[in-house]
A = this chain, B = another copy of it.
Amino acid sequence: MGSTERRNRETEEIRQKIIAAATQLFIEEGYANVSMRKIAQKIEYSPTTIYIYFQNKEEILRELLDHGTALFLDYIQKAFAAPAPDSLTRLRAGLKAYIQFGLDQPAFYRLMFIDNLEAFLQKAMCGNDRLQGFALLVEHIAELIDQGQCREQDEQLIGQSMWASIHGLTSLLITYEHHFPWNEQEVLIRYHLDTLLGSFVRK
């Protein structure tokens, strides 16, 4: 019993090691440019060994994206669930969490939202967890609409525009992290959210 458990744990550890190495490589060189050999070298195993833990390269990607998606949802849900003085503040916290996820986990963010590798896996996006994040956003926008706080009434329209806005900031910060003389990050994010939310609330 104890032995089996230990073995499972070890197995899971190596799986995680592989995932971690793959994530880093996928992000550094792009999914297509990462070979099983490279992953193997990084963890100092033989390429064959990887096939004990994963059926093929795609399965690594799938697992990786699943993990990333779960992590992403955790960020968003926690932010929306946290106590907040009012709906607007809560919405702001959700948007902030979205950006924060991207900055904390740029590898995952890039693979999930920028490179959109999930499409590569031919898993329809519509039913998957990334959209749960969007659904949550729309829900909270709807709440504000109900409270009569918004100029525009179409929560889908608002949601899409907001998503665009925060995705834009997040992805630029990730993509051009070292290639562009950004303002101080915290200031930029605060300003971005201020104007974004300011414009959509009825004055």
Contacts and interface: CB of A to CB of B under 8 A. Distances in A.
A86 B14 CA distance: 62
A168 B169 CA distance: 7
Nearest to A154: B183
A60 B191 CA distance: 40
Most buried by B among A119, A161, A199, A203: A161
Number of identical protomers: 4
Interface in A53-99: none
A78 B164 CA distance: 25
| Max count, chain B CB within 10 A of own CB: residue among A33, A168, A192 | A168
Contacts of A154: 183
Interface of A: 30-33, 113-116, 119, 124-126, 131, 152, 154, 156-158, 160-161, 163-169, 171-172, 175-176, 179-183, 187-188, 191-192, 195-196, 198-200, 203
23 contacts: A30-B30, A30-B32, A32-B32, A32-B33, A115-B115, A116-B176, A124-B179, A152-B191, A152-B195, A158-B191, A160-B172, A160-B188, A161-B169, A161-B188, A161-B195, A164-B168, A164-B169, A165-B169, A165-B192, A167-B168, A167-B171, A167-B172, A168-B168
